[in-house]
Amino acid sequence: MVKLGAASGVGFDIADEVVKEAQELAELAKVNCQFVRANITEIPEHYFKQFDIVYMTAGTLTWIENLQSFFSMANRLTNTGGYLVTNEIHPFLDMIALPDDDEYDPHHELQIVYSCFKNDPYIDENGLDYIGGTNYEAKTTYSFPHNFSAILSSITTNSFAILDIKEYSHDISGGFKFLEKYQKLPMSYTVIAKKMSGLPVW
């Protein structure tokens, strides 16, 4: 956002190394950004109502168990009249197995394996290097599937009015590039929403 004209930016992440690397890159790029280590649902109050645009991108929501808590925090961070911009992995992909899954069938890449209404978390011990596109053994992680209606309703019940929704056939996760060739699936999406006064907050 700073490259597009914002006067300054603040990024939040729970991982120390991610914050450190992001700060180093910001300094190399000479952009006015700072990065803060924080649990995304426990951001300090002095950041509340400090942002005209709150932006979240690929792979954010999968680490959030409680969407209402997450978008409630997004509301607290955003000025009234400000915008929430979501550019995320499409939840449709949660139904399809990755090549390293036990359920994956290389002869049927488009086979739906998991339920759209899955409630329990995915448990994984593999990591993905987003830059190099390689997998590696990692500590056990828990990620949470959220269908599209749950995401949209959590946005609207936290004082945001949705202005625009677009779905795309390109992969922004780094994990489903092998499906782009079909050009048939919703693989990513954007939602632009505006914080409104007078609307309820969960």
CATH number at residue 122: 3.40.50.150
Query: Above pLDDT 70, what percent of the chain?
Result: 91
Examine the domain organization and report whether 151 and 114 are in the same domain. Answer: yes
Q: Is position 81 within any domain?
A: yes
Examine the domain organization and report whether 32 and 52 are in the same domain. Answer: no
Q: DSSP letter at 159?
A: T
Examine the domain organization and report whether 123 and 179 are in the same domain. Answer: yes
pLDDT tens track for 35-86: 999 998 899 999 999 999 999 999 899 999 999 999 999 999 999 999 999 9
Least confident of 11-15, 72-76, 91-95, 197-201: 197-201
Q: Is position 3 within any domain?
A: no
Beta strands at 78-89 and 51-56: parallel, antiparallel or unpaired: parallel
- Rounded Cα gap, residues 58 and 188, in angstroms: 8
Residue 41 · residue 73 · CB < 8 Å: yes
Is pLDDT at 202 greater than 90 in this prediction?
no
95-119: average pLDDT: 88
Question: How many other CB atoms are found less than 10 A from the CB of residue 56?
Answer: 19
Examine the domain organization and report whether 113 and 17 are in the same domain. Answer: no
Examine the domain organization and report whether 68 and 12 are in the same domain. Answer: no
- Rounded Cα gap, residues 148 and 163, in angstroms: 16
| Res. 99 pLDDT band, cuts 50 70 90 | confident
The per-residue DSSP string of 19-41 comes to HHHHHHHHHHHT--EEEEE--TT
Examine the domain organization and report whether 96 and 136 are in the same domain. Answer: yes
Count the domains in the chain.
2
Examine the domain organization and report whether 25 and 102 are in the same domain. Answer: no
Q: Which amino acid is at 189?
A: Y
pLDDT at 92: 95
Q: What is the pTM of this model?
A: 0.86
Mean pLDDT of all residues in the chain? 89
Instruction: Give me the domain span that covers residue 164.
Output: 45-195
Q: Is position 1 within any domain?
A: no
